Structure 1
């Protein structure tokens, strides 16, 4: 009896995982759906949980996230982290404070399986905010393996005094 129950639980859990994987797979079938999911999965009101499983599903196994900008001495640098590292350093803050990142403009270049996107974004604390608290550009490298899109790297920097977003990367 216990063996039958264990077998039933095993197959039900596989069915659930397959269902979640199928749902996730639909979010990475096109370049547009992949980028939309990337922005959506980190966005939400204060107190709203994020789907970190889906977030990690977007990335290759060795993907890197690289925020860049000036340090306290004003010297430009960057910090490299994995998707798990991003969740560890930013996940709680995003959920506690509310954060919405919205793409406002995109430039896309593709050669073979390699795609590079310069994605201009605006960040808000709440979806109801009228003005962003910051803007910047995400440089996103993606790969299509013939079955789906993968985020390989995201390297970004924010707009700041002395570093405005050029007009060519803003909506017309």
Structure 2
């Protein structure tokens, strides 16, 4: 009986800690606009400024993917599949060492039921004070609203190039 009671107390403690942790960032995923704003904000920062990787991970559904695409050395378009942790491991240090600000300049959104697809055009800067971006592209962001919050399911992106300019319909007027 004591073992059963101890197990229940432990289970209750775990559940309470999960619910407390869940509410820590709940305001960052309560609507679509705030979720996208949080995504851009959490990866952006000045050189030497640490990112909030706990918040970054909180944005994503388990098994979510980040999928950059671009040409390889032979000119063939390729994709790479990363988990949020893979992204942190491969890009986190670079973001801090170099400074990186990514800002959304245009958005096209499609929603059906609880799923949403966002084509989010971005510009990237090394510092908030920069006036010219060093890179532009489009993030294709798939999201799920589970009735309580928004989750990022995937982010699939490519950078703009001379051969692949961003179409007018995905740029600000």
TM-score computed with the length of structure 1 as normaliser: 0.89
C-alpha separation in 1, matches of 2:124 and 2:24? 27
Q: Which runs of 5+ in 1 are unaligned?
A: 1-10
Unaligned runs of 5+ in 2: 1-12
Q: 1:45 corresponds to which residue?
A: 46
Summarize deviations over 1:92-122 as a string: whole Å, max 9, x none: 0001110000000000000001100000000
What is the root-mean-square deviation of aligned Cα atoms in Å?
1.4
Q: 1:102 to 1:109 in 2, by over 3 A?
A: same
Task: Write the distance in 1 (CA, Å) between the matches of 2:86 and 2:23.
Answer: 26
Would you identify which runs of 4 or more consecutive aligned residues in structure 1 move more than 3 Å?
17-21
Give the deviation of 1:166 after TM superposition: 0.2
2-structure distance, mates of 1:80, 1:23: 29
Count, aligned residues: 159
Give the TM-score normalised by structure 2: 0.88
Matches within 5 A, 1:23-172: 23-172=24-173
Q: Distance in 2 between matches of 1:126 and 1:30?
A: 28
